[in-house]
Structure 1
Amino acid sequence: MRSICFYFQVHQPYRLKPYRFFEIGEDHQYWDDFSNRSIMRKVAEKCYLPMNALLLELIEKHQGRFKVCFSLSGTILDQMEAYAPEVLASFQRLVATGKVELLSETYAHALCALKSESEFRDMVGKHQQRIKELFNGYTPKVFRNTELIYSDKIGKMVYDLGFEGVLTEGAKHILGWKSPNYLYANAIEPKLKVLLKNFRLSDDIAFRFGEPKWSDYPLTTEKFVSWINQIPANEDVLNLFMDYETFGEHQWAETGIFEFMRHLPEAVFASSDFGFATPSEVIGQVAPVGMIHVPTPISWADEERDLTAWLGNDLQDEAFDKLYQLEARVKRSKDPEIHRDWNYLQTSDHFYYMCTKFFSDGDIHAYFSPYESPYEAFINYMNVLSDFILRLKQEEEAAVGMLV
C-alpha cells in the first residue's frame, strides 16, 4: 500500500514589543507578553484545540490506521506552558496514541544552520531535551529544519546528529523532471533519507482551499482523492506538508476545512490504494530511488523556494550578521536571561518581518507581520539587539572586575 504522510508545522514566535531608541540601556524586557498571550489563546481556540480533538477522533475511529506527524518548535512549547496548558495536554494525548510522530528541529525555529554548526547542534539538543521532558521521554528520529530549509550540507549535519531522515520542499528547480512522490537520499550521506513535499497538493489544502476564485473551488474529499489516484502507481509516497494553523486560522472553520479533514481518511481508505504513514514508517518501508542534489539551500517559502524570505535584503543581512557575531560572547555568559533572549532573538520570524518583497508574495509577508513596514521591523529589532549587546558588555566588565 502506498502512503500519505501528513506533516504539520506548529510554531509561534515570541514577538518583540515596540522598543524605542531611548529605552536602550534602560529596559531589558523585550517581549510583548500581552500580544504573545492573546495570539496564542486565539489560535488555540480557532485551531489547536478543535483540530487536535478532530485528529484524536480520527485516530480512534480508524483504529490507528490514520497517522500524522508534528514539528513543535520550542517557542510554541514555551507559550503553551505559559498561556495554554490545555493545548499542550491535547498534544500529549495525541502522542500517547502511538500514531502521532514528533519531529526534531531547532529549539527557537532559528536559521542557525545557515551560519553556525555549533549553535545548530546546541539548538537541536535543547529541542530534543524539551521534547523528552514534555512527552514522556520521547526521542525524535526524523528532523525538520526551520521552514524546511535544507541543502546537502545541512543534511550531512542532520545525519551527524543521529537522525534517520529529514523533510524538505519538493522545489521544482531542484527536482527538474523528477517526482516528489518518492523517497530520496542525501547526496553527501546516502544513509540520510529525504522526504519531499508535494507542494501542489499540499498548497491546494493550505492556501487555495477557501478561495472562491480558484478554478477547482470548492475542494471536496472526493475531488482530492481523485487527484491522488492520478499519481502513477509506482510512486510510493505523497507528502502533504503544511502549517498547522491552516486549520481554523488561515482557513477559517466556515470554509469547511475541518469537515474536509474529518472525511478525508474515510475517502482515502474507500477509494484509493493509499494509507497513512509517519515519516519514520516511510523510511522503514520504502527504498530510496536515488540521491537528491541540493547544492544551495531551499525552503518552502514563497514562489522562489529559497532563502529570500529571511535573507533577501540588506536589512535582513545586517541584522542576521550582527546577531551571530555575538555567539561566542553569549556562550561565555552565565546569565540565564541572556541565554533565553539569545534563543528567542534567533527566531526566523524576526527576519521574515523585514522582507521587502512587494510583488508575488508581499501580501503573505504583510499578513504575518505585526509591523507597519519592514523598516519598522528592522529598527525595532536593532534597538533590542543594541540593548542586548550592552547587557553582554556589562556582564563581561563585571566579570573582569571580579578578577582584579
Structure 2
Amino acid sequence: MKAICLNFQVHQPFRFRRYRFFDIGNDHYYYDDYSNETIMRKMADHSYLPTNKILLDLIRKNKNAFKVSFTISGIALEQMDLYAPEVLDSFIELAETGQVEFLAAPYSHSLISLKSPESFKAQVEKHATLIQKYFGQEPKVFCNTEKIYSDDISAVVADMGFKAILTEGPKHVLGWKSPNYVYCSAVSPKLKVLMRNFQMSDDLSFRFSNQAWSEYPLTSEKFVGWMDSNPKDEVVNLFMDYETFGEYQRESTGIFKFLQELPATVAKKSKFKFATPSEIADAFQPISIVSVPYPISWSNEERDLSIWLGNELQQEAFNKLYKLEPRMQFVDDPALIKDWEYLQVCNHFYYMNTKFFTDGSPQRTYNPFESPYEAFINYMNVLSDFELRLNSFVPESKVEKEIAALNKLLAEKEERLRKYELELKNLQSGTVKKNKESKPEATKRKKTATKSTKKD
C-alpha cells in the first residue's frame, strides 16, 4: 500500500479591536466583532463552503477511495457557530460520511506546548471534547498549533495516549532522508510521526497560480507523476491551510478543478490510495526515529518559531502572558477564562513579526496592524486590563490582596444597599397601594354615616 494523507488546517482568531491606553480599567471588551464576522463570512463563502461541497461530492462519488482529515481549532469552531453555522453543518455532514478524520489540537491554537505541559494537556482535552460533541469522534491523532514539534512535546503527546502526530519534514531535521515515510519519536517510540512533504504542499498553497513558476500550470497528472517518481516512497503527506482552496488560490486559478480531478487521476495513474492519519499509523511501521531537540514548525523558511517569538516584542508579550498562567488555575469566572483563551492565540504574536518580507504565508494579508510595534502596544494594553481583572480574582501581592479585599467589601456593601433600596421601594409601593385600596372603604363608611345622621 502507498498512501496519500491530506490534512487541512482550519483556524481563524478572534481579532482585537483598537484598544487604547485610556481603555485600560474602563472597558473590558477587547474584540473587533465587525472584522471577525466579515472575515469568517468571506472565508465561508470563498473557501469553506465550496470546498466542503467538492469534498462531499468526491467522497460520495469515490465511495471508500477518497479520504481527508482536518485540524480545526476550537476558536474556529466557536466562530463558525457564531457567524457561519452553515459551515459547521457542512463539516458535520462530512464527518457523517465516515471518510473524514478530525484531529486533536490545542483549543486556542496557542503556543502553550512550549510553556506548560499540564495546561497544554488541558487545552488538548478541551478541544477533543469539542470534536466529540460536533463530529462524534474521539481523536486518535494529534496535530499541534502550526505543526510545532519537538522531542519534549512528543513525550507529552504520547503520554496523552495519541498514536501519531503530524509535523513538518524540514531538511535540517531529516537530512538526506525523505518525508515520504512514517517515523517515530526519539523519546517515545510508540508515537508515530507523519512528516509533511513541504515541497508538494507548498506547490499547491503558494505556487499554484504563479505564472513565473517553471512548473506552471500545475495539472493533476503532473502532480501525481511527481508522487510516483520514487517507487520506494510509502506515504505523501500533504498538509496545508484550508484557505488554500478559494482564498489563497482563487477559484479563477483552477484550484477547485484541480481538487475535483485529483482522486480520479490518482486512481488511474498511480498505486497510491487516500488514507486518514489513523489508517496510515495503523498500516505502516516506522523506518527510523526522528530526533528534534529544538522545536520546529511549518512556518517561514527556517521552519522554526521565529515567526512568533523571533524578536524582543514578541518575547516580552509571550512571557508576560504566561507569567499569569499559574494564577489562572484558580479562576472560575467564565468571562475571564474565555478572554484568557483568546489572548493565547498565536496570531497575536504573529502580528508583531518583523519577518514579513521573508515569510511566504498569505496570512500576512489579514494582519490588522500597520506595524509590529502597533500590534505589540495594542496587545499589551489588552493584557494590562486583563491583568487588572485577574488581580481582583487572584491577587498577586500583599497590596493587591488588600485592594481586592476592599473592593470585595465595597461590592458587598453596594449589593446590600441595592437590596435595601429595593425593599424600601417595595414597602413604599405597598403602602401607597394599601392606602388606595382602603380609601373607597373609608369613603363608603363616611357616606353610610351621613345617611344615618340624616335619617335620625
Gaps of 5+ in 1: none
Relative distance call for 1:129 and 1:326 in structure 2 (3 A) is same
Equivalences for residues 71-150 of structure 1 within 5 A: 71-136=71-136, 138-150=137-149
> How far is 1:234 from its partner?
2.1
* 1:134-193 CA distance string (max 9 Å, x none): 123x10000000000000110011000110000000011000000000000000010000
8 Å contact kept, 2:208–2:218? yes
5+ residue gaps, structure 2: 395-400, 413-456
Residue deviations 1:268-287, cap 9 Å, x none? 10001111000000010011
Given that 2:301 and 2:358 are in contact with CA atoms closer than 8 Å, whether structure 1 keeps it comes out as yes
Give the alignment of 1:152-301 within 5 angstroms.
152-230=151-229, 232-301=230-299
Q: Contact 1:356/1:362 (CA < 8 Å) preserved in 2?
A: no
Q: Read off the aligned partner of 2:273 and give its amino acid letter.
A: G
How far residue 118 of structure 1 moved from its aligned partner, in angstroms, is 1.5
CA–CA distance in structure 2, aligned partners of residues 215 and 303 of structure 1? 20
CA distance in 1, matches of 2:281, 2:223: 25
Deviation at 1:131, TM superposition (A): 1.1
Residue 300 of structure 2 contacts residue 361 of structure 2 at CA under 8 Å; is this kept in 1? no
Provide the rounded CA distance (Å) in 2 between the counterparts of 1:28 and 1:339: 13
Higher mean C-alpha displacement, 239-248 vs 210-219:
210-219
Residue 328 of structure 1, CA deviation = 1.6
The answer to whether the 8 A contact 2:113-2:120 is kept is yes
Partners in 2 of 1:34 and 1:332 — Cα distance? 33
Q: Separation in 2 of the partners of 1:37 and 1:224?
A: 36
8 A contact 1:7–1:69 mirrored in 2: yes
**Sequence identity of aligned pairs in percent?**
56
* CA distance in structure 2 between the aligned counterparts of 1:122 and 1:211, rounded to whole angstroms: 42
Specify whether residues 177 and 125 from structure 1 end up closer, same or farther in structure 2 by C-alpha distance, changes over 3 A only: same
TM-score, normalization: structure 2? 0.86
CA distance in 1 between counterparts of 2:371 and 2:6 reads 34
How far did 1:400 drift?
4.0
Identify the residue that residue 304 of structure 1 maps to in structure 2: 302
Partners of 1:174 and 1:249 lie apart in 2 by 31
1:366/1:299 CA distance change after superposition, 3 Å: same
Q: How does 1:362-373 map to 2 (within 5 A)?
A: 364=362, 366-373=364-371
How far has the Cα of 1:359 moved from its partner?
3.7
Match of 1:317 in 2: 315
The number of residues matched between the two structures is 402
Instruction: Tell me the amino acid that sits aligned with residue 297 of structure 2.
Output: S
Bigger proportion of residues as helix: 2
- 1:334: how far off? 2.3
1:85-144 superposed Cα distances (whole Å, 9 cap, x missing partner): 1000000010111100000000000000001111101111110111111123x1000000
212 and 84 in structure 1: CA distance in 2 versus 1, 3 angstrom threshold: same
How far apart in 2 are the matches of 1:78 and 1:264? 31
Letter in 2 for 1:155: S
Q: What corresponds to 1:16 in structure 2?
A: 16
Q: 1:334 aligns with which of 332, 335, 338?
A: 332
Q: 1:141 to 1:211 in 2, by over 3 A?
A: same
> Kindly tell me: are residues 120 and 234 of structure 1, through their superposed partners in 2, closer, same or farther at Cα, counting changes over 3 Å?
same
Give the match for residue 2 of structure 1. Answer: 2
Distance across 1 between alignment mates of 2:99 and 2:78: 24
CA distance in 2, matches of 1:98, 1:85: 21
Contact kept? 2:110, 2:344, Cα under 8 Å: yes
SS of residue paired to 1:7: strand
Deviations 1:16-68 (A, max 9, x none): 01100010001100111111011000100000000000000000100121000
- Secondary structure at the counterpart of residue 71 of structure 2: strand
Check if 1:70 corresponds to 2:70.
yes
Aligned partner of 2:352 in structure 1 is 354
1:384 to 372, 382, 385: 382
Shift of 1:257: 0.2
CA change 1:363–1:99 in 2 (3 A) is closer
Alpha-carbon distance, 1:369 to partner: 1.1
Structure 1 position 366, deviation (Å): 3.6
Alignment check: 8 A CA contact 1:352 1:365 kept: no
DSSP 3-state at the match of 1:69: strand
Q: Structure 1 residue 394: deviation in Å?
A: 2.2
Change (3 A) 1:202 1:381: same
Q: CA deviation at 1:236?
A: 0.7
* Alignment match, 1:59: 59
2-structure distance, mates of 1:109, 1:302: 18
Question: Aligned Cα RMSD in Å?
Answer: 1.4
> Secondary structure of 1:249's match?
coil
SS at match of 2:309: coil
CA distance in 2, matches of 1:294, 1:88: 36
Query: For 1:98 and 1:76, how far apart are their aligned partners in 2?
Result: 22
Contact 2:147 2:167 in 1 (8 A): yes
Which residue of 1 is the match for residue 442 of structure 2?
none
Q: 1:222 deviation in Å?
A: 1.1
Q: Which structure has the larger Rg?
A: 2
One-letter code aligned to 1:152? D
- 1:36 equivalent in alignment to 2:39: no
Alpha-carbon shift at residue 399 of structure 1 (Å): 6.4
Deviation at 1:331, TM superposition (A): 1.6
1:365 Cα offset (Å): 6.1
DSSP-derived class of the 2:167 partner: strand
Shift of 1:330: 1.6
Secondary structure of the residue that 2:307 maps to in structure 1?
Answer: coil
1:250 counterpart SS class: coil
Cα-to-partner distance string for 1:247-284 (whole Å, 9 max, x where unaligned): 00110000000000000110010001111000000010
